[in-house]
Structure 1
C-alpha cells in the first residue's frame, strides 16, 4: 500500500506536508502520511516484529484491536494512541539482587506524568500512583512499586509490585494469574503499609525495542490488558 501524504499550501502557494503526531507505546511519533496500516505502525514506528505483536488503538476506556486484520488501513489524526501487544504468554522471571540506579527511571516517570517516590533508605525502590486503563481492572487506582537495576536502561525491572492485592496470591504457574507473590513484596508493605503483591513478569523483549521508561510502561500496560 502507498500511504497518502497530507499536504497544504502556504501563502505563496507552495505545498508542504502536514505533520501528524500520534503515540505508539507511549512514545510520540511524527508522521507525514494520513493513512497507515496496523502492520506499518508496528514495523515503522514501534520497531517491532508483526509476527510477534499486534496493534491496539486506545480511545479512553475503549480499544480497537487489529490482531485479525494487520493490513487494515487506519486514517490518522493528531492525538491518536496505539499500543503494541505481545502475542502469547509472558514467561515467569527469576529475580535476583537489584542494584541502585533509579534516577534516570524516576526522571522518565516524571516526564510521563507520574510522581515517583523512593522508599525511605532505598533509592532503587520507586512507588507511584497508577490508574489502570485496560483489562478486567480498568478504571481502578493502584500503587505500583518497581525495583530499578543499577544498569538501567540496559537492565530492566523484573516485574511490578502492586497494592492493593487485585488478584489472588498464586506462586506457581505463569501470567496472567500465576507467579503472584506476597512474601516478595514485604519490603513495600513494611515501608508503606497495606497489602502488596509482586508479579513476576519479565520484559523479555527489552533488547529488541526502545529501552526507555515509556517502553517499560507499555509493558505494564500490556500486563493489565491481558489480566
Structure 2
C-alpha cells in the first residue's frame, strides 16, 4: 500500500482497490460502490452491474459481509444456500443501497488465513459470480 498505512475501514478498502486499478466511489458511512463491475464468468458472464460494499470500520481486521448488487439477479429469499438463498433487499442492510439493490449474505470464509485486503475480497466476489 503506497498511501497512509494508518487508514482503516472504507477509506482503506477504496484506496486498495484504486491502487489495483479499480474505479471506486466512496459514499460515506463506510459504503463504497464499484460502478459497472464486469462479471467475468458464470451464467451472468458479460453483465455489468454496480457492486456495493459495506466495509466494517476495523477493516482489514474484519472483512466486509456479502456484496450488494444493483440488479435483481434472484428473487429475495432469506433461506437456503448460494446462489439463490440468503438474498435480501438491500434497503434492510444499508443506508445507501436501496431500490433495485440486493444484498447477498455471503460471509467471507477463512479471512484470517490469507492476505486481508480489498483485492482478495473482490476475488471472492468474482468467485460468487462464477458459481451462479
Pick 1 or 2: higher relative contact order, CA cutoff 8 A, min separation 6.
2
Kept after mapping to 1: 8 A contact 2:9/2:60:
no
Give structure 1 regions of 4+ aligned residues with deviation exceeding 4 angstroms: none
The alignment partner of 1:102 has SS state of: helix
1:153 counterpart = 2:56 = no
The TM-score with structure 2 as length reference comes to: 0.85
* Aligned partner of 1:142 among 46, 49, 60: 49
Distance 1:189 1:212, change over 3 A: closer
CA-based RMSD of the aligned residues comes to 1.6
1:41 corresponding residue in structure 2: none
* Aligned partner of 1:206 among 104, 111, 115: 111
The TM-score with structure 1 as length reference comes to: 0.51
Aligned length, in residue pairs: 123
* Aligned partner of 1:128 among 34, 57, 60: 34
- Greater radius of gyration (CA): 1
Please identify which structure carries the higher strand content.
1
The alignment partner of 1:142 has SS state of: strand
Unaligned runs of 5+ in 1: 1-99
2:23 corresponding residue in structure 1: 115
Unaligned runs of 5+ in 2: 1-7
